[in-house]
Amino acid sequence: MPRPARESAISDLGLIDVSPWATEESSAGSPVAVLGDIHSNLPALEAVLEEVEAAGITRGIITGDIIGRGGHTDECISLVRSLGWPCVQGTSDRVNQGGADEISRSNLVWLSSLPVRLLLPLDGAVIYVTHRVTPRERRRAVEAGAACLVSGHTHHASAGPVEGLLIVNPGSVGEGVPNDPRPSWAWIVAAPDGVSAGVRWSTRALRPYEIR
């Protein structure tokens, strides 16, 4: 008996289907925080998480690039792990593992085991998560029946439709963009009439890095 098209697409694409919030009925329909490109900047990560908590958001997605260039590599990995949120591996998480002497053994194993992409069921919708958007990833998201593609990498925060697919980029927690180092993050909400999203910038003035 042939598999349904969406099930076949998920299997063929090698996606990981997880339901971290499936049993939290009280969270259904509530916003989910999206953040990434932390780049080992612990003060910025802590500031963003404080704002997420202040907004009453308890669920989140991490778009990768936890490490790289900042001065708090192991601390950032530990903090992200403690959240228990779905997380994909970014380019910096792979290429910067050469500095593994800064990372504890358990954190290095965890970082190395992160998937490149995730398919997340969210309150009746399907969210496709990967670190970097490419035409191939957009095609995969559509084939998987996703209503929203969440990514990072560019550090430019945005949320809007592209060829009928909602694409959300939370920007960067740890670096920002030229002339604006403020940490940024995004939120998404799945409702019966579709998925909506928005972007926020931190109100706290932070140095791009706190180098040890």
Residues 6+ apart with CB under 8 A from 12: none
| pLDDT for 96 | 66
Domain count for the chain, please give it: 1
Greater model confidence, 96 or 157: 157
Q: Is residue 70 part of a domain?
A: yes
Instruction: For Cα atoms 71, 75, 79, give the angle at the middle one, nearest 5 degrees.
Output: 135
pLDDT for 12 beyond 90: no
Asked if 63 and 38 touch (Cβ cutoff 8 Å), the reply is no
Q: Is residue 191 part of a domain?
A: yes
60-81: average pLDDT: 93
* pLDDT > 90: percent of the chain: 66
In the chain, the largest separation of any two C-alpha atoms, in whole Å, equals: 59
* pLDDT computed for residue 132 by the predictor: 95
Does residue 208 form part of some domain? no
Query: What φ, ψ does residue 91 adopt, rounded to 5°?
Result: -65, -40
| pLDDT tens digit sequence for 116-133 | 999 999 888 999 999 999
Is 103 within a domain? yes
Which one is predicted more confidently, 100 or 144? 144
pLDDT at 179: 80
DSSP string covering the chain:
-PPPHHHHHHHHHT-EE--TTTT-GGGTTS-EEEE---TT-HHHHHHHHHHHHHTT--EEEE-S---SSSS-HHHHHHHHHHHT--B---HHHHHGGGGGGGS-HHHHHHHHT--SEEEEEETTEEEEEESS--HHHHHHHHHTT-SEEE--SS---EEEEETTEEEEE---SSS-BTTB---EEEEEEEETTEEEEEEEE-SS---S----
For residue 1, what pLDDT is reported? Answer: 41
Q: Which domain holds residue 159?
A: 34-201
Examine residue 22 and state whether it is found in any structural domain, yes or no.
Answer: no
Identify whether 1 is part of a domain: no
- Here the CATH number for the domain that contains residue 55 is 3.60.21.10
User: In the block, which residue shows the tokens 């959240």?
Assistant: 83
For the cut 50, the answer to whether the pLDDT of residue 8 exceeds it is: no
Q: Using the predicted structure, report yes or no on whether residue 24 has a pLDDT greater than 70.
A: no
Distance CA(209)–CA(76), nearest Å, equals 13
pLDDT tens figures, 36-46: 999 999 999 99
Q: Is residue 25 part of a domain?
A: no
69 HSE (CA, 13 A, CB side) = 11
Residue type, 77: I
Output the pTM of the full model. Answer: 0.87
Is 20 among the domain residues? Answer: no
